[in-house]
Amino acid sequence: MTNWTIESAAKFLLDAENERTNVAPITDTWEDLDVAQGYLIQDELIRRRVQAGEHVTGVKLGLTSKAKQERMGIDSPLTAVLTDAMRIAADSSAPYDKLIHPRVEPEIVFIMEKDLRGPDVDIEGALAAVATVHAGFEIIDSRFADFRFLLPDVVADNASSSYFLFSEEGVKPADIDLVSELVIVKVDGQEVDRATGSAVQGHPAAALALAANSLHAQGKFIPAGSIVLTGGLTDAVAMDDASRYTAEFTTLGSIEIAPGRA
Ligand code: OOG
Ligand code: MG
């Protein structure tokens, strides 16, 4: 496509998602697309989802860990928007047949007790606004073929968001050492990767602070009650419809996507 606009790019990505097809990166043909315009496309995409009946329920960070940055070849974190339609209950199924080429990644999830506004939010300030911490799994499903994209593309594509789930039982921030919290990722009971909370920006609350500060630059904040995904702790694992994926956290407990349900 040529003669791109913010609107046509948002529609292009939503159509790819709805038609379950993958597409070429927008930057292949909109070569000077920048990150700020990527966020305008993301905003338009969310505006259309809200117009279709979805509700914004939170924020996610992407590319906050070295493992993710190295795999995707992008060393800059980004933010994206979560809606109620993306949430899967911890004990129900993921619509595998709606997905293009899903990957799963373990994440530390915060539920916010208070509004969190940048600028200048630090780890302590971020933690003071958190109600509970949860074990999470995100299912990412880039609309771009082979997950090949540049930063403006992945920003526009709402950071490959498709679905996420998190444990119902939460832990209070004071009752967990977030930096050393360990997660072991297993496929059919076999370990495939592991990481600690330090993987995301040195501290999951540093990732949360980063979200608040970056959103401030866009004139936004994180409202009380929001769900915040702090970013994949390990590289993502390709997901099929037959295997069982488990993220076993030390303090936060385990979360699983079981065969036939994903
Ligand atoms: C971009 C989405 C990144 C994370 O947790 O790092 C993300 C991608 O890897 O496709 O959700
Ligand atoms: Mg993620």
pLDDT band at 93 (very low <50, low <70, confident <90, very high): confident
Testing ligand 1's pocket by substitution, the residue of 35, 63, 229 carrying the most ligand atoms inside 8 A of its CB is 63
CA trace torsion 50, 141, 257, 196 (10° rounding): -100
Name all residues whose Cβ lies below 6 A of ligand 1.
Answer: 62-63, 68, 72, 105, 138, 140, 142, 147, 154, 159-160, 231-232
Model pLDDT for residues 103-147, shown as the tens digit of each residue: 999 999 999 999 999 999 999 999 999 999 999 999 999 999 999
Model pLDDT for residues 13-35, shown as the tens digit of each residue: 999 999 999 999 999 999 999 99
Domains of the chain: 6-260 (3.90.850.10)
Crossing angle of the two packed helices 35-51 and 6-19, in degrees rounded to 10: 60
Cα 168 to ligand 1 centroid, rounded to whole Å:
23
Mean pLDDT (whole number) for 141-163: 98
Average pLDDT, the chain: 95
Q: Whole-model pTM?
A: 0.97
Q: Which residues contact 38 (CB under 8 A, 6 or more apart)?
A: 151, 152, 153, 154, 155, 156
The Cα–Cα gap between 42 and 44 comes to 5
Could you tell me if 238 and 140 are in contact, meaning their C-beta atoms sit under 8 angstroms apart?
A: no
